[in-house]
Amino acid sequence: MLFGGRWCGRSAALALLFFAACQNDTSSPEAYRPPPVTVEAITLSPAPFEEVAQFTGALTAAESVVVRPESSGVVETIEFEEGQAVSGGDLLFRLRDHEQQARLAEAAAARDLAQRVFDRVKSLKGKDVLSVEELDRARSGLAQAEARLEIANVEVERAEIRAPFDGVLGPRMVSPGDRVTGGGMSRQGDQTGLVQIDAIDELKLNFTVPEVAVNAMRVGLPLEISVAPFPDERFSGEIYFVAPSLDPRNRRLLVKARIPNAAHRLRAGFSCTVYLPLGKRENVLLAPESAIVHDVAGTFVWRVADDGTAERTSVRLGARRPGEVELLSGVAAGDRIVSAGTNKVSSGRMLEFAPTPDVAKAAP
């Protein structure tokens, strides 16, 4: 009995110790709570939003042509430097024109003779010495001589090749002494290219838009572009052409715009991003792109609950602009969401809030 009583007392004591140990065991799931994580958060508030569509386009010269000769001949002189800016009508090339000059002199002499004959016949007709038929024949001879003189002048002018419009010249394609082919019945492919000239004081922008954006396109609509060499700058322009029909190959609409380029900073051939304003809306909820989380279950944000914990909230996204995205559903004005540090957050996790960059800058 004594032995049994002693054993029962020891068992009761061990049971009490075990129970106390269980009460102090912090490793049980119910007792452990992870420490809070530090994140940045913003409070959503309605704001005006200008919706801007983005497209990809390309710049071309306002006018561009390879200058070709109207008549065949030998290049006598080149009157420009490569890369030079020229005005319409400036002399670029002079072809050897000895033969044309000789024909011009011959035609001028024939015209002078025909003029003298006509004057003599006209004076005699006034004295009733010659008939009306002879006067008409002299008048016709003068007209023919003047026409041949005009043709000879044109041939001489064709030996001087001039700029068709204001622009900048590219590399020349011939040298003095080269024989060039042009004019007559030859096709353009048979004519010799001399130099390319591009009008670049104003550039053309070509881009296409999908069917859904067709109704937003109209002549006179302003736009902006950016190009890779100047990523932090925007260049303004205006739409001047909207195609009347879509391209059947890709179901897209061709649009053209003019981009002023007086400083010649932009180059024909640049690809560019086109920013086209589609309208302004009020009371739009915008969140930084860093606040948006995607997984297999969908798109969501971490909303800050009333007790300071993270709450997963599914959202539907709308329009975008650099660094921000529109939230169409799932949240409301006044909600606070995690804007940075989303990778550290899980459902129910306590949150601590670091000052946002703007607040940190304002702190003394």
The domains of the chain are located at 37-49+283-359, 53-62+198-280, 69-93+161-193, 97-158
CA–CA distance, 196 with 190 (Å, rounded to integer): 16
pLDDT of residue 18: 47
CA–CA distance, 62 with 204 (Å, rounded to integer): 5
Higher pLDDT, 320 or 106: 106
pLDDT over threshold 90, residue 316? yes
Fold adopted by 53-62+198-280: Elongation Factor Tu (Ef-tu); domain 3 (2.40.30)
Contact between 206 and 57 (Cβ < 8 Å): yes
pLDDT over threshold 70, residue 98? yes
pLDDT over threshold 60, residue 115? yes
pLDDT of residue 1: 43
Mean per-residue pLDDT, 150-169? 92
pLDDT over threshold 80, residue 3? no
Most confident of 126-135, 189-198, 277-286, 336-345: 336-345
CA–CA distance, 283 with 270 (Å, rounded to integer): 37
pLDDT over threshold 60, residue 122? yes
Give residue 213's pLDDT band: very low, low, confident or very high (50, 70, 90). confident
Higher pLDDT, 130 or 306: 306
User: What is the number of other CB atoms lying within 10 angstroms of the CB of residue 155?
Assistant: 19
Give residue 121's pLDDT band: very low, low, confident or very high (50, 70, 90). confident
Q: What's the one-letter identity of residue 150?
A: E
- Specify the range with the lowest mean pLDDT, choosing from 29-43, 217-231, 281-295: 29-43
- Specify the range with the lowest mean pLDDT, choosing from 185-189, 206-210, 264-268: 185-189
Q: How many CA atoms, within 13 angstroms, populate the side-chain half-sphere of residue 65?
A: 12
Mean per-residue pLDDT, 116-126? 79
CA–CA distance, 81 with 57 (Å, rounded to integer): 32
The answer to whether domain 97-158 has CATH 1.10.287 is yes
φ and ψ of 100, to 5 deg: -65, -40
pLDDT of residue 2: 43
Question: Do the domains 97-158 and 37-49+283-359 match in fold?
Answer: no
330 sits in the region (left: phi over 0; alpha: psi -120 to 50; else beta) called: left
Contact between 82 and 169 (Cβ < 8 Å): yes
φ and ψ of 131, to 5 deg: -85, 165
pLDDT over threshold 90, residue 126? no
Q: How many CA atoms, within 13 angstroms, populate the side-chain half-sphere of residue 35?
A: 2
pLDDT over threshold 70, residue 256? yes
Higher pLDDT, 37 or 163: 163
pLDDT of residue 178: 93
In CATH, what class is 69-93+161-193? Answer: mainly beta
Mean per-residue pLDDT, 50-79? 92
Q: What's the one-letter identity of residue 176?
A: P
pLDDT of residue 10: 55
pLDDT digits (tens, 9 = 90+) for 11-56: 555 454 444 544 544 454 445 578 888 999 999 999 888 888 889 9
State which CATH number among 1.10.3720.10, 3.40.1190.20, 2.40.420.20, 3.30.413.10 fits the domain covering 37-49+283-359: 2.40.420.20
DSSP line for 183-205:
STT--GGGSPP-EEEEEEEEEEE
Give residue 188's pLDDT band: very low, low, confident or very high (50, 70, 90). low
pLDDT digits (tens, 9 = 90+) for 257-276: 999 999 999 999 999 999 99
